[in-house]
């Protein structure tokens, strides 16, 4: 089937923003989604509160992104936090900014926002085709989809791919699009986990007693970066909060060194000298556990981490114990499986795209979202960049159609 409409493949925030940009300009849009419903990963991201963006100057905001070039920075310059707030307001979904600068819809959930978004797209003539899995191109360069009715071939005026990265396969982000891209000779960077958990060789006691425990009021550091966020102990390592924030330097260290060190400051509000003084003043007849508890209120999972990662004999010396409490090395032996990562780095190489996000070797075919090789932390940065690149790809299609 040949159509003057534009095909958008995917239904996450990048795809829907591309569809919005095109439909707002009066173009007909067909959104093709492999899953039985739209925006599944977007909905999962908003299950406990949709953190859609983050406050900050444009320079500060752009500084959070890795593995990118000026094209991503330009996207964010034209569609960043302020524009997302205005866009949500236009959908009847006012924004709420939390105390740490994270931006949410007032409803907090993704589902009302997604429903309003899809209604507006439908009102502009966009068509959503569910259970349409893109399989590649046929010999004539047309798009081939596997559908419940059989194979469908479409030759649109232009195509935007927004197929996501390589994690959360059950939500549709399976990375299978890389096979036809590689066959077509499109340069790809290998997928790498981002915003992910890490593995640690816990003792049986640590694993059995503290798996699932949150470590709060702690400062974490790795690779010259630090953050004051909590983390969660898992049966096989650590995850969440500050671990995700530091996942990029930790992942890079694992890849280059075979392991990584996450440094923990268990008592960030106390100086080492004060810690040593309090421990030295504790009665010598008390056990180490009691001295830590009474002098420092260091108990539970924090005390367990100290015993797990520090030399037990050295902890009997107040100065050595203070040094360990302020800089406790937790050895990480690997990353959690790729499919469990919140997002992935890697994907379509920037060199494969022109300045309008069009594939250099596939005219009329554009890319957007997480499938492009950029990386970002959680905190609203991921979704904002997906939407910004979706808009940029949509504008790229409009420019290309005008030139044609």
Model confidence at 4: pLDDT above 90 = no
Lowest pLDDT segment from 56-70, 85-99, 162-176, 288-302:
56-70
Report the C-alpha gap between 211 and 204 in whole angstroms.
10
Report the C-alpha gap between 353 and 3 in whole angstroms.
24
User: What is the band of 67 on the pLDDT scale with cuts at 50, 70, 90?
Assistant: confident
Joined together, the tokens standing for residue 262 give 């996450």
Report the C-alpha gap between 32 and 321 in whole angstroms.
59
User: What is the band of 48 on the pLDDT scale with cuts at 50, 70, 90?
Assistant: confident
Q: How confident is the model at residue 46, as a pLDDT?
A: 85
CA-to-CA dists, residue 203 to 236, 294, 325, 374, angstroms: 10, 26, 19, 36
Backbone φ/ψ region at 231: left (φ over 0), alpha (ψ -120 to 50), beta: beta
Q: Are 93 and 103 in contact (CB under 8 A)?
A: no
Report the C-alpha gap between 173 and 361 in whole angstroms.
24
Q: Write out pLDDT tens, residues 132-156.
A: 999 999 999 999 999 999 999 999 9
Lowest pLDDT segment from 62-76, 217-231, 273-287:
62-76
Q: Are 144 and 151 in contact (CB under 8 A)?
A: yes
Once rounded to an integer, what is the mean pLDDT over residues 275-286? 94
The residue written with tokens 């010396």 in the block is 317
Q: How far is CA 64 from the centre of its chain?
A: 12
| Distance between first and last Cα of the chain | 21
Q: Write out pLDDT tens, residues 105-125.
A: 999 999 999 999 999 999 999
The half-sphere exposure of 246 on its side-chain side, counting CA atoms within 13 A, is 28
Q: Write out pLDDT tens, residues 298-351.
A: 999 999 999 999 998 999 999 999 999 999 999 999 999 999 999 999 999 999
Q: What is the pTM of this model?
A: 0.93
Once rounded to an integer, what is the mean pLDDT over residues 351-363? 97
The residue written with tokens 């699932």 in the block is 212
The residue written with tokens 């890849």 in the block is 255
Q: Are 396 and 358 in contact (CB under 8 A)?
A: yes
Joined together, the tokens standing for residue 329 give 């090395």
Model confidence at 102: pLDDT above 70 = yes
Q: How confident is the model at residue 69, as a pLDDT?
A: 83
Q: How confident is the model at residue 1, as a pLDDT?
A: 61
Where are the alpha helices (H) located in 166-203, listed in sequence order?
178-183
Torsions phi, psi of 30, nearest 5? -115, 120
Q: How confident is the model at residue 286, as a pLDDT?
A: 93
Q: How far is CA 189 from the centre of its chain?
A: 17
Model confidence at 2: pLDDT above 70 = no
Q: What is the pLDDT of the chain when averaged over all its residues?
A: 96
Q: How confident is the model at residue 295, as a pLDDT?
A: 96
């Amino acid at each position: 089937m040949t159509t003057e409409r534009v095909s958008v493949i995917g239904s996450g925030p990048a795809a829907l923003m591309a569809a919005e940009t095109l439909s707002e300009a009066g173009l007909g849009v067909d959104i093709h989604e492999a899953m039985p419903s739209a925006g599944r990963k977007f909905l999962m991201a908003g299950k406990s509160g949709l953190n859609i963006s983050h406050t900050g100057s444009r320079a500060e905001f752009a500084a959070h992104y890795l593995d990118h070039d000026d094209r991503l920075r330009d996207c964010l310059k034209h569609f960043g936090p302020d524009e997302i707030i205005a866009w949500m307001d236009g959908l009847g979904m006012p924004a709420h900014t939390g105390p740490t600068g994270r931006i949410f819809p007032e409803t907090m959930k993704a589902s009302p926002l997604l429903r309003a978004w899809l209604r507006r797209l439908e009102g502009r003539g966009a068509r959503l085709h569910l259970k349409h899995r893109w399989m590649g191109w046929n010999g004539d360069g047309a798009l081939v989809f596997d559908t419940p009715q059989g194979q469908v071939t479409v030759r649109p005026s232009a195509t935007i791919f927004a197929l996501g990265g390589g994690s959360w396969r059950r939500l549709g982000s399976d990375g299978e699009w890389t096979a036809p891209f590689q066959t077509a000779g499109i340069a790809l960077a290998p997928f790498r986990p981002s915003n992910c958990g890490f593995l640690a060789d816990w003792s049986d006691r640590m694993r059995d007693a503290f798996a699932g425990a949150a470590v709060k009021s702690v400062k974490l550091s790795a690779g010259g970066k630090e953050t004051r966020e909590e983390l969660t102990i898992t049966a096989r390592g650590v995850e969440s909060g500050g671990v995700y924030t530091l996942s990029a330097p930790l992942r890079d260290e694992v890849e280059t060194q075979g392991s990584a060190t996450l440094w923990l400051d268990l008592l960030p509000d106390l100086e080492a000298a004060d810690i040593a003084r309090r421990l030295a003043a504790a009665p010598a007849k008390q056990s180490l556990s009691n001295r830590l508890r009474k002098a420092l209120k260091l108990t539970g999972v924090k005390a367990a981490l100290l015993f797990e990662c520090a030399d037990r004999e050295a902890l009997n010396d107040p100065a050595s114990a203070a040094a360990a409490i302020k800089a406790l090395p937790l050895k990480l032996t690997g990353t959690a499986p790729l499919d469990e990562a919140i997002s992935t780095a890697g994907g379509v190489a920037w060199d494969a795209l022109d300045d309008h996000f069009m594939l250099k070797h596939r005219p009329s075919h554009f890319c957007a979202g997480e499938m492009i090789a950029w990386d970002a932390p959680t905190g609203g940065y991921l979704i904002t960049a997906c939407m910004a690149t979706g808009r940029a790809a949509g504008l790229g299609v409009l420019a290309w159609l005008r030139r044609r």
